[in-house]
Amino acid sequence: MTEQQLARLLREVKAGRRSVAEAVERLRELPFEDLGFAKVDHHRALRTGFPEVIYCAGKTCEQVVEIARRIVARNRLALATRCNPEMYEAARGAFADVAWHETARILVIGTPPKVSPRAKPVTVVTAGTADIPVAEEAAVTAETMGCRVERILDVGVAGLHRLLRHRERLQEARCIIVVAGMEGALASVVGGLVSAPVIAVPTSVGYGASFEGLSALLTMLNSCAAGVVVVNIDNGFGAGYFAALLVRGERRR
């Protein structure tokens, strides 16, 4: 239940359109709903402005569908990350409005908010094509949370002229998510070109000495460019979510 939904419920009680008993029943599971295998945090939307997100890895198709059903019943929108095709098929059979983002491995159940085409974008940049799955996880997350997203793909430091061609687009961004594996140097380069905050996402792309993303993570943490923050290895979701929080904070000013 969002803040707006709670306020509407209280107004309905005040106006006599809903009884106190009905309101109590509606609020009974507001803190969380215990399904046995999961405790669904219905209070999260009220606290943070966005419903609990389902992390699908390790869950069964039935568990994902049931958790999503409970979230959608109260919020009209559910986001599920790290999904597989079988989970999509199960969700498609249970919900009328389901979008499957295969590259991002994300399910969106319900309709995300509309975004003005004139809004300053969250710009997602990848060093290589192999980084696109993590980048798409970030992009789809930010889009679902109400951001306009632009993508600039395969512009890593091995061919720096490819990045410089997009310098104007980078400077127009509200914030920039940089997704890179190997040595992870792209985040520092982008951070030195723009005034917008940069969210760096190290990926596990690379040969043996990249240590499954650890090399890129350490490079990004040691960035000499100011204004660069770093999320965990392959955590596109975390980057997209943080970008959406930045955009939301700007809208509230």
Residues 106 and 47 in one domain: yes
Is residue 17 included in any domain, yes or no? no
Is residue 4 included in any domain, yes or no? no
Residues 244 and 140 in one domain: yes
Q: What range does the domain containing 174 cover? A: 122-252
Question: What is the arithmetic mean of pLDDT over 19-27?
Answer: 72
According to the model, what pLDDT value does residue 238 have?
96
Is residue 13 included in any domain, yes or no? no
Q: Which of the listed residues 110, 134, 154 is the one where a domain comes to its end?
A: 110
Is residue 168 included in any domain, yes or no? yes
Average confidence score pLDDT of the chain = 90
Residues 127 and 218 in one domain: yes
Q: Which of the listed residues 110, 139, 172 is the one where a domain comes to its end?
A: 110
Residues 150 and 202 in one domain: yes
Is residue 11 included in any domain, yes or no? no
Over residues 182-235, the pLDDT tens digits come to 999 999 999 999 999 999 999 999 999 999 999 999 999 999 998 899 999 999
Over residues 58-80, the pLDDT tens digits come to 999 999 999 999 999 888 899 99
Residues 101 and 140 in one domain: no
Over residues 84-103, the pLDDT tens digits come to 999 999 999 999 899 999 99
Instruction: State percent of the chain over pLDDT 70.
Output: 94
Residues 140 and 229 in one domain: yes
Strand order in the sheet with 198-202: 149-152, 122-126, 175-180, 198-202, 228-230
Q: Which of the listed residues 110, 143, 167 is the one where a domain comes to its end?
A: 110
Least confident of 59-68, 111-120, 131-140: 111-120
How many structural domains are present in the chain? 2
Instruction: State percent of the chain over pLDDT 90.
Output: 67
Is residue 24 included in any domain, yes or no? no
pTM of the model: 0.85
Residues 236 and 165 in one domain: yes
Is residue 128 included in any domain, yes or no? yes
pLDDT band at 125 (very low <50, low <70, confident <90, very high): very high
